[in-house]
Structure 1
């Protein structure tokens, strides 16, 4: 493997570095965006139980805010619930935008890696082909072994760039889809809480 990287030239260094960054981002995002961590299933029933039992106070809201991203959204809504339905919805929307930003962290970097890796590979191939034609000018076309070796060396960077870009594109789209699904679920659950509070006439319970 090291020999292949070495034979690809200096442009293999940014390609390999990009692959390490892409792998780190993918692992970190999948670990961070686990459903059990972002939107625990028991959180909404627990909040509603607190409200029904009139146990919801400032300490519980603070605990809720720090527990998960979904808890942050719910806490924002509950904090403003005494000001009316629209105020609660606006607070939830604002908190949801903040949460979406947090969930999309590093995705732009992953997308950039997916875009530039094949370009780096192509640049390496072009530079390699320039070297091949320089050899042709100096040695002629008689030494086919040198030409074949030069062309093979030039194509290594393209293969390496594509090997990084293809998984990066796949995981970027998969993560974006996962984030969209989580945001939809949080939006639906938040709407349920708003409706439950105001339909139950308990908007002043806190």
Structure 2
């Protein structure tokens, strides 16, 4: 009984795999760039989820730790270099602390400059993901247009004796559109999500940096 069940499962897997392959094959050569885009999108989404963890961008209690080191006069050049490479927030704080002797306004300018650079780094690969979200539905539509052209060319040459052939040809032509939308919609959703996440991180980092400036200049405890 168990052997029979296992055989049935293997048969189902083989059938599903062959069916998927046939669908991809029916979509034509434009399925290749759509598949490549899907692989790239999955890689970018996974990498961004890993890199944009809040604990890596905004380490908890970092400002209070830096404030404690500042009060104890332990913020030397070596410590600032460690702080700069520790996290994006640390990079911004280090830029302000390195110029703390120039006054509040210069500190704020340096923090804003570092913040723009950090924001640019946090948006890495998001333009690529947005491009994938835009072009994959268009590639799918292009594949459908090519498929419809082939169908009507065949009809002009051989006529429409069998309506089922026409219906089957149209279904094959629509495969690329379905594939393009399947890749493009999730890519667009994650692109918007990561953009908003980066914006939220930038706002929080600016708030934390201004908090440190106020603490250093005695405006906040």
Q: TM-score range by the shorter chain?
A: over 0.9
Partner of 1:90: 109
Q: Does 1:48 align with 2:67?
A: yes
State the Cα distance separating 1:42 from its structure 2 match: 2.3
Residue in 1 that maps onto 2:140: 121
1:29-40 counterparts in 2 under 5 A? 29-40=48-59
- How far 1:67 moved relative to its partner? 0.5
Q: Which runs of 5+ in 1 are unaligned?
A: 202-206
CA–CA separation in structure 1 for the residues paired with 2:171 and 2:203: 48
Q: Partner of 2:181 in structure 1?
A: 162
Superposition TM-score, scaled by structure 1 size: 0.95
Alignment partner of 2:27 out of 8, 21, 25: 8
* C-alpha RMSD over aligned residues: 1.1
Greater shift in the superposed pair: 159-168 or 134-143 = 134-143
TM-superposed CA distance for 1:56, in Å, is: 1.3
| Per-residue deviation, 1:200 | 6.2
Query: Which position in structure 1 is the counterpart of 2:77?
Result: 58
**Structure-2-length-normalised TM-score:** 0.89
Choose the corresponding residue for 1:17, options 32, 36, 58. Answer: 36
- How many angstroms does 1:53 deviate by? 1.5
- If asked which structure has higher relative contact order (CA below 8 Å, sep 6+), I would say 1
Aligned position for 1:196: 215
Pick the aligned partner of 2:154 from 135, 139, 143.
135
Q: Alignment partner for residue 91 of structure 2, among 67, 72, 81?
A: 72
Q: How many residues align?
A: 201
Structure 1 moving runs of 4+ over 3 Å: none
1:183 maps to 2:216: no
Post-superposition Cα deviations, 1:137-189, rounded to whole Å, max 9, x if no partner, equal 12211122321221011000000000011001100000001001100100000
